[in-house]
Amino acid sequence: MPQSSLRVVSGLPFVREKLTQLYAARARGDMALFAAGFAPDGVFHLLGEPRLVPEAGPRSGRAAIQAVLESLFRNYESIDGLLVDMIIDLNAALVRRHVTLRSVATGAIGEFEVAEHLRFRDGDIVELVQFMDTASMAVLSGRI
């Protein structure tokens, strides 16, 4: 009897695989696919001062999440990125990334460490809080 090619992934391997696919989509600029990983009432929150980085603050719902991520992608060109580590539980995850960004406004390049805390419900992201040096982002873009 031939071996089935069906592969069932559940539990922590499912969460890890889903996050890996979502972050790959984000890295290539597919914010629609990344936002689709959120629950309909999901929240993305870039911590920081909105006067320095307009994209900072909470955004609720897939459309708003996609829009703010597309704005970040337009204003800060991704030169390089590395998903450094993921610590995953069924209901939460911590993700650490290292990114190199170029400000579209100034052409300046900076390197950033990014930490993200995610919470899940039924396999969807219900909250993603992103910790990043937004003051340095503001300097990079010429706002301060």
pLDDT score at 2: 63
pLDDT tens, residue by residue, 9-67: 568 888 899 999 999 999 999 999 999 999 999 999 999 999 999 999 999 999 999 99
**How do beta strands 76-88 and 92-103 pair?**
antiparallel
N-terminal to C-terminal alpha carbon distance within the chain: 67
Among candidate residues 113, 112, 118, 98, the one with its CA nearest the CA of residue 140: 112
* Domains of the chain from N-terminus onward: 11-140 (3.10.450.50)
Q: Which residue has the tokens 């993305």?
A: 44
Q: How many CB atoms lie within 10 A of CB 124?
A: 16
Q: Over range 124-131, report the average pLDDT.
A: 98
List helix spans (H) across 37-133. Answer: 62-75
The residue type found at 22 is L
